[in-house]
């Protein structure tokens, strides 16, 4: 029997064998047996050297044709077997898609973020910009341009984490006021901004203090701004966050970057102003500091204090949340205790 006859016999017999295979593993074994390096087709091609030279081209073409036919037959059978396996799974492994899925708990913003969101919504509604700045800040912006030179004793109250002598973790979000004042073009209108963010101080953590907390600074600069504008703004903030039943009062105070300066108090939420241990029997609770922007702050930012003036205020979203919800330990906000945080599921 010639080599050509042998290949013809292999083609006919193996095509039937391929068609009869009913298992993917057996089909792969047959593929290796037929088309592998030790298979009959490979062996026949190696035997071409024994044929006369004029027969080799036609035999080579025939051998390649047989190999391709067998390969195609194997591929077709492979597809049929895979489809059959899939059909079997679809028939015997049904899933009832009408059954309800596993419930997924829906989260909500952190209670501090809820306070920040309320503040941002309120001030954006009044035409303020909401700006954020670097938490790693220059001493120049954090202190000096806030009228706190290097030898100023008020710096001791804001002792912070220094990276170098001139670079530190910011103690307040006020640096954004200085940065924005430097760039603002007053020919295009007044400056109205609020800057919420995280600040850092070397405080010992206790129920009312944290080395890291949130602050929101506000600033308005224009012509003819008065203390009455500040008072009206603070009343609106208090009524929005705490409700109309709370009154606001301003007390004289001192801040290096404002003159005159005030502390803002609201009616004690616990006793309604009658006096209790929470408010130390005064009927009031301090919530923020504010005042008219100091002329030195305007001068250092390149703004003429004889033409422009305005007010600034700083409040703590953490403290606002404590007052609003009666939380007695600021550390609860940062412990990530889900039992505590889910009490504030309703936004606002």
3-state secondary structure of 136: strand
Q: Omega into 260 within 30° of 0, i.e. cis?
A: yes
Position with higher pLDDT, 278 vs 155: 155
210 pLDDT band, cuts 50/70/90, is confident
User: What is the C-alpha to C-alpha distance for residues 59 and 35, in angstroms, rounded to an integer?
Assistant: 17
For the segment 307-333, what is each residue's pLDDT rounded down to a tens digit? 999 999 999 899 888 888 888 888 999
Q: Are residues 223 and 74 in the same domain?
A: no
User: Do the domain assignments include residue 105?
Assistant: no
Average pLDDT of span 79-98: 84
Average pLDDT of span 4-9: 74
Average pLDDT of span 89-103: 81
Average pLDDT of span 4-12: 74
Q: How far, in Å, are 241, 251, 268, 280, 294 from residue 245 at the CA level?
A: 11, 20, 10, 20, 33
What DSSP letter does each residue of 101-129 carry, written as one string?
PPP-------HHHHHHHHHHHHHHHTT-E
Q: Which alpha helices (H) appear in 291-337, and where do they start and end?
A: 295-300, 317-325
Best mean pLDDT range from 82-91, 95-104, 214-223: 214-223
Residue 38, pLDDT score: 76
Q: Are residues 192 and 259 in the same domain?
A: yes
Q: State the residue range of the domain holding 41.
A: 3-93
User: Do the domain assignments include residue 100?
Assistant: no
CATH number of 338's domain: 3.30.930.10
Residue after which a domain boundary falls, among 33, 58, 93: 93
Q: Are residues 47 and 165 in the same domain?
A: no
Residue 93 assigned as binding residue: no
Residue 48, pLDDT score: 73
User: Do the domain assignments include residue 279?
Assistant: yes
Decide if 179 contacts 207 (C-beta within 8 A): no
DSSP state of 294: P
Query: Does 268 have pLDDT greater than 80?
Result: yes
Q: What percent of the chain has pLDDT over 90?
A: 41
User: Do the domain assignments include residue 99?
Assistant: no
Position with higher pLDDT, 48 vs 305: 305
Q: Are residues 86 and 116 in the same domain?
A: no
What DSSP letter does each residue of 15-34 carry, written as one string?
HHHHHH---HHHHHHHHHHH
Q: Are residues 180 and 254 in the same domain?
A: yes
- In sequence order, which residues have a C-beta less than 8 Å from that of residue 348 and are 6 or more positions away? 114, 118
User: Do the domain assignments include residue 239?
Assistant: yes
Q: Are residues 10 and 134 in the same domain?
A: no
122 pLDDT band, cuts 50/70/90, is very high
Q: Are residues 29 and 165 in the same domain?
A: no
Query: Does 191 have pLDDT greater than 90?
Result: yes
Q: Give the predicted TM-score (pTM) of the model.
A: 0.66
Nearest to 176 by CA among 197, 159, 153: 197
Residue 4, pLDDT score: 72
Count CA atoms within 13 Å of residue 48 on its CB side: 17
For the segment 149-183, what is each residue's pLDDT rounded down to a tens digit? 888 887 877 778 999 999 999 999 999 999 999 99
Average pLDDT of span 282-303: 92
Q: Are residues 120 and 83 in the same domain?
A: no
User: Do the domain assignments include residue 34?
Assistant: yes
348 pLDDT band, cuts 50/70/90, is very low
Q: How many domains does the chain have?
A: 2
Mean pLDDT of the chain: 86
User: Do the domain assignments include residue 274?
Assistant: yes
Q: Are residues 134 and 197 in the same domain?
A: yes
**Residue environment code for 151-183, b if the CB has 16+ CB neighbours within 10 A, otherwise e:** eeeebeebebeeeeeeebbbbbbbbbbbbbbee
What DSSP letter does each residue of 164-230 carry, written as one string?
SSSEEE-SSSTHHHHHHHHH--GGG--EEEEEEEEEE--PPPBTTB-SEEEEEEEEEEETT--HHHH
User: Do the domain assignments include residue 88?
Assistant: yes
**CA-based angle 107:270:215, to the nearest 5?**
55
For the segment 22-54, what is each residue's pLDDT rounded down to a tens digit? 888 888 888 787 777 777 777 777 777 777 777
Residue after which a domain boundary falls, among 34, 63, 93: 93
Residue after which a domain boundary falls, among 93, 127, 156: 93
Task: List residues bridging with 138 in a β-sheet.
Answer: 167
Q: Are residues 243 and 283 in the same domain?
A: yes
Nearest to 309 by CA among 221, 183, 192, 186: 221
346 pLDDT band, cuts 50/70/90, is low
- In degrees to the nearest 10, what's the CA dihedral of 19, 21, 26, 31? -10
User: What is the C-alpha to C-alpha distance for residues 210 and 257, in angstroms, rounded to an integer?
Assistant: 23
Q: Are residues 115 and 85 in the same domain?
A: no
- In sequence order, which residues have a C-beta less than 8 Å from that of residue 346 and are 6 or more positions away? 108
Q: Are residues 334 and 250 in the same domain?
A: yes
């Amino acid at each position: 029997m010639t080599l050509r006859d042998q290949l013809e016999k292999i083609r006919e017999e193996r095509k039937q064998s391929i068609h009869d295979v009913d298992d993917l593993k057996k089909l792969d074994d047959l593929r290796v047996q037929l088309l592998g390096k030790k298979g009959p087709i490979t062996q026949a091609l190696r035997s071409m050297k024994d044929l006369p030279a004029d027969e080799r081209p036609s035999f080579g073409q025939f051998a390649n044709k047989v190999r391709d036919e067998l390969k195609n037959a194997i591929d077709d059978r492979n597809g049929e077997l895979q489809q059959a396996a899939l059909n079997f799974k679809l028939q015997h492994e049904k899933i009832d898609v009408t059954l309800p899925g596993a419930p997924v708990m829906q989260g909500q913003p952190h209670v501090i973020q809820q306070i920040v969101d309320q503040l941002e919504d309120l001030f954006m509604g009044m035409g303020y910009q909401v700006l954020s700045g670097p938490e790693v800040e220059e001493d120049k912006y954090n202190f000096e341009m806030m009228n706190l030179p290097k030898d100023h004793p008020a710096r001791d109250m804001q002792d912070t984490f220094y990276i170098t002598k001139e670079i530190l973790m910011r103690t307040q979000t006020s640096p954004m006021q200085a940065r924005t004042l430097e760039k603002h073009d007053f020919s295009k209108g007044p400056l109205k901004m609020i800057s919420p963010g995280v600040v850092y101080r070397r405080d010992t953590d206790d129920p009312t203090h944290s080395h890291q907390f949130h602050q929101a600074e506000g600033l308005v600069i224009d012509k003819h701004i008065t203390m009455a504008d500040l008072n009206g703004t603070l009343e609106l903030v208090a009524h929005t966050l705490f409700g109309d039943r709370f009154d606001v009062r301003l007390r004289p105070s001192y801040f290096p970057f404002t003159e005159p300066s005030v502390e803002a108090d609201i009616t004690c939420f616990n006793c309604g102003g009658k006096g209790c241990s929470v408010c130390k029997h005064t009927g009031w609770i301090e919530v923020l500091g504010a005042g008219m922007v100091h002329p030195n702050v305007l001068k250092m930012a390149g703004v003429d204090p004889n033409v422009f003036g305005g007010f600034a205020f700083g409040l703590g979203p953490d403290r606002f949340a404590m007052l609003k919800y009666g939380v007695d330990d600021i550390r609860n906000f940062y412990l990530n205790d889900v039992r505590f945080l889910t009490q504030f599921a309703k936004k606002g």
